[in-house]
Amino acid sequence: MILLAIKKIFARVASEVLYYLGHWISFPMHWFDWCWIYPTYNCLMCWSSDIQDWAGNNKPWEKINEQD
């Protein structure tokens, strides 16, 4: 139980850090049209999402409820 809590806390912090790093990298990408920085941005966002899914957290990426 304690290891699960540690896993969730670690994943929450890591996914938030990666998410906001990607967010900050996106600014020069948009402002200065630096398309060469996109692979770094994409990796950070994908890693953030992967870590969140691994731990079963719901932040910073929230699940969208699909309505039929």
- Whether the CB-CB separation of 21 and 44 falls below 8 Å is answered with yes
What per-residue confidence (pLDDT) applies to 2? 85
* Nearest Cα to Cα of residue 28 among 44, 42, 41, 45: 41
6, with CB counted inside 10 A (0-12, 13-18, 19+), is exposed
pLDDT, tens only, 51-65: 888 888 877 777 655
Is there a domain that residue 66 lies in? no
Is there a domain that residue 62 lies in? no
Domain assignment of residue 37, given as a range: 11-55
* Nearest Cα to Cα of residue 23 among 37, 7, 8, 5: 37
Number of structural domains in the chain:
1
Is there a domain that residue 28 lies in? yes
Neighbours of 25 (CB within 10 A): 18
Is there a domain that residue 5 lies in? no
Is there a domain that residue 38 lies in? yes
31: its two tokens: 């402002």
Is there a domain that residue 31 lies in? yes
Is there a domain that residue 22 lies in? yes
What per-residue confidence (pLDDT) applies to 67? 61
